[in-house]
Amino acid sequence: MRIALGLEYDGTDFVGWQAQRDERSVQQTLSEAISVVADHRVTVAGSGRTDAGVHALQQVAHFDTESQREERQWLLGINSNLSADIAVQWVRLVDGSFDARRSALWRRYRYLIMQRSVRSALMHRRTWWLRENLDCGAMSAAATNWLGENDFSAFRAAGCQSSTPMRRLMVVGIHELDSLISFEFTANAFLQHMVRNIVGVLVKIGTGAAPPAWGADVLSGRDRTRGGVAAPPQGLTLMEVGYPARFEIPLPQDAWSGLP
């Protein structure tokens, strides 16, 4: 049978989702915890790969097992074998056709920037701290140029293994709340480092170092070297993955519900 689960984690001390030899990954950590409860070796598959230092409010994953457990037994048992920086939020028995990655319709990421004169001790693992004030209007104007189906070669990492740079960016939202700026991106899928590279371009525009039209030039140029620096990973969180309604995947509990 196939089990789906929703996973929340602080990515600071992980090398990312993907299992790597002799490194602490989310995938390997979760697989080991599930294997204890299942009483056999389990390999878990996720909806996508988050990079080192990137967080998740709801990463969705699945695994196969013949072990019979109640959903609550899976939930409590797995969490009892996980450290404080990673926790399963829900467990569901799903149809065998469900695949955490291939069944996904879209993904939503949030990037947080803190703009103030001094650094934060509480938010340094969740935000990119900038002393400069950013122009949200200019950044929003630039971001609209990227909506729709586009070749995002200018925003992909050099080592990105995707077979195509084409992605459909469905929603971009930029909101300011006191000293925090929230960037929301929803797309059918994302290239490696795509969100961080987009935010890097937007910050250059937001500081006035480049005009809003530069965002369209970067996209059409399809050259990563023209895009500037990537935003650091700690500000990025995978917020939600969308699936067809028939799978009844629960909504995440948004830890940042106070933001617009």
67 phi/psi in degrees, rounded to 5: -70, 135
Separation of alpha carbons 6 and 246, rounded Å: 17
- 135 as an active site residue: the answer is no
**Cβ-contact 106, 185 below 8 angstroms:** no
237 vs 58, 127, 254, 256, CA distance in Å?
A: 9, 10, 11, 11
**Cβ-contact 243, 103 below 8 angstroms:** yes
**Cβ-contact 50, 59 below 8 angstroms:** yes
Three-class secondary structure of residue 227 per DSSP: coil
Instruction: Please identify which of the residues 10, 22, 51, 254 carries the catalytic annotation.
Output: 51
Three-class secondary structure of residue 56 per DSSP: strand
Active site positions, annotated: 51
